[in-house]
Amino acid sequence: MTQLSTPTPTVNAVGTSGSDFDVDERGTFRALVEAFVSLFIAVLLFRTFAAEGYMISTGSMAPCLLGFHKRIVCPTCQITFPFGTAYDTDEDPDAESVVANRTRAVCPNCGQHGIDVSEVPRNHGDQLLVNKQAYLYRPPRRWDVIVFRNPAHPTEAYVKRAVGLPGERIQIQGGDVIIDGQIARKNYAQQVATRILVHDHDYRPTDDDEFEPHWKCVDETEDDLERSKTTVWTAGSKSFQLRGGNVRRPDKTPLAWVEYHHWIRSGGLHDTSVPLSQWPEDLNSSLVPDAGLKFDPKNSEFHVTGALSKEVARKLMELTTDQVFYRAVQDLYEASHIVPISDEYGYNPPDEVGTPNPVLDLMLSARVAWQGGAGEFVVEMTNGASVYSVVFDIVRREVSLFVDVLPDGVTIGTRADTRHSESEAVVSAPWPSSFTEAGGLIEVSLIDRQVLIAINGKPVMEPAAIDLPRNVQPPRIPVRFGARGVDIKMSQLKLYRDVYYTESRSRHAVNRPYELGPDEFFVLGDNSPVSHDSRRWDKPTVPRKHLIGKPFLVHLPSKPGNLRIGNQEIHLRIPDWERIRFLR
């Protein structure tokens, strides 16, 4: 459970200062006592009826809200991420007793394994200021973070996200929340509040031979003459730049693309195959390392389970002189390290969670600036069934959405250049006045089966609902951006994913819909793999009478600090200003 504790309030006594009048000692003492009592009563009334502070101890709402955790700086890419030291799955309420077994972390940004966290000091959980009046006159809205009393132990306070509302029939399917047979969709603010970082392009290893960039410039032009006319992106340290503003006919120029490849270092349970017509005659199969490799002569394919290591690939090429086999091994190595995005959390130990689930619901965030030209730039996202092209027209100052159904076996990384100019836009809208040549923040999401487009923190049009056929294979290249006929710079590239609500180890609202009573709420944790919530409780609902309020501020968070006086070092807690924020 995400259990909360109530911090002891600090009360400061207030006395009266001297004046030109004589005041006897008994009057002064009485004034001090009255002031202290009045302040105590004021604080008591404020805590009772207005707001109260709580501290989070466990990690079921991470990364939105943190329990006891460690702040880890990845030694490879230098990004900072939280690593939990207490979870809802802990049977021992004392987190210190389980910290010793959680000494290795995996960077969620670059995938670096085996990061030693044993010597990193532990941080306290987030402290929440809760508005106890929030639900006196209205019930919680869907996706609200709420604080409530544990129905089984009313003296304990928990924090979760309200997902199912009174009278509804709720079910978890494929990571989504289904309400009364329809998917529950989040608006822009709710998507931002729940999104989880997958990759930040600003944090990449600079001295790591094992790392491969996630964003890659590509050239789809096959003809040498056409390739000579194509303008390509230039990759900088933290950005991509295109110089194509001098093109006379942008509409006749191929788009130059930068694709996202979700590259992993090692591991995985995914299957990868490449074409291989026949096994080399000089290669003894018994000498092939046992590393998940398999040759399928019937379909002329060479398979591997998980990411093929460099050591195994090198060993394979040492066993034969067959050049065709060499190329197949190289192709298999590269392809096996690019996998679908999954619901893994850097907050959780990798060995204490079940098999990861592929996630199709993504959001791209980037800062765009253009300096000239009359062309366009495009963001494409796919769920494996269709491609959704968001086209930013420089001349018209207009944003348009185009939909292109993918044929079987075709992905956005293998098909020809997008020809959205030949089709009709599903919806179009003008740019906001805040989006100028100096730059602006664009966000495009494919979350909850809808396409949402925002510029500078505000949606530019109503989200477009989309369908998702069943049994769709997750794409290996889920998003890319391109441009033509424009001088443009793309920076601050971040890719996020939505919460994937897991079904494993769940008892309620999984195999069949669960119907809520007229005063009941169904609550879920953002850290779905380890959260104990309505899916797993004996009594799955939270009655309205158990609601405490709505948290609106993460206040006074702290982090470990050291103070050295002479030869002595004092350990103390200092404010962590970066974590202070209002909650949506």
Dump pLDDT digits (tens) for 263-313: 999 888 889 999 999 999 898 888 888 888 999 999 999 999 999 999 999
Instruction: Flag the least confident range among 42-56, 68-82, 146-160, 541-555.
Output: 42-56
Query: What average pLDDT does the segment 250-258 reach?
Result: 86
**Does residue 526 carry a pLDDT above 70?**
yes
What pLDDT was estimated at residue 88?
A: 77
Domains and CATH numbers, the chain: 197-262+357-497 (2.60.120.560), 271-336 (no CATH)
Q: What is the pLDDT of residue 230?
A: 56
The pLDDT, as a whole number, for residue 17 is 37
Q: Tell me which of 432 and 560 has the higher pLDDT.
A: 432
C-alpha–C-alpha distance, residues 57 and 546, integer Å: 20
**3-class SS string, 179-246:** ECCEECCCCHHHHHHHCEEEEECCCCCCCCCCCCCCEEEECCCCCHHHHHHCCCCEECCCEEEEECCC
Which pLDDT belongs to residue 27? 61
The pair phi, psi for residue 235, each rounded to 5°, is -90, 125
Residue 12 burial (CB count, 10 A) = 7
Classify residue 80 by burial, with Cβ atoms within 10 Å: 0-12, 13-18, 19+.
Answer: exposed
Q: How confident is the model at residue 105 (pLDDT cuts 50, 70, 90)?
A: very high
Question: How many whole angstroms separate alpha carbon 374 and alpha carbon 422?
Answer: 18
Mean of pLDDT over the chain: 85
Highest mean pLDDT among 14-18, 132-136, 471-475: 132-136
Cα 299 from Cα 129, distance rounded (Å):
61
Which of the four pLDDT bands, split at 50, 70 and 90, describes residue 64? very high
Q: Is the pLDDT of residue 15 over 50?
A: no
What is the pTM assigned to this prediction? 0.87
How many residues belong to the chain? 584
**Residue 142 confidence (pLDDT):** 98
Contact 529, 552 (CB under 8 A): no
Cβ partners under 8 Å of residue 60, min gap 6: 1, 2, 67, 87, 88, 160, 525, 526, 527, 530, 531, 532, 533
pLDDT at 11 over 60: no
Burial of 375 (0-12, 13-18, 19+ CB in 10 A): buried
* Torsion region of 562: left, alpha or beta (phi above 0 gives left; psi -120 to 50 gives alpha): beta
Q: What is the pLDDT of residue 150?
A: 87
Indicate the pLDDT class of residue 97, thresholds 50, 70 and 90.
Answer: low
Residue 41: per-residue pLDDT: 46
The answer on pLDDT for 168 being more than 70 is yes
pLDDT over 70, % of the chain: 84
Write down the pLDDT at residue 406.
Answer: 77
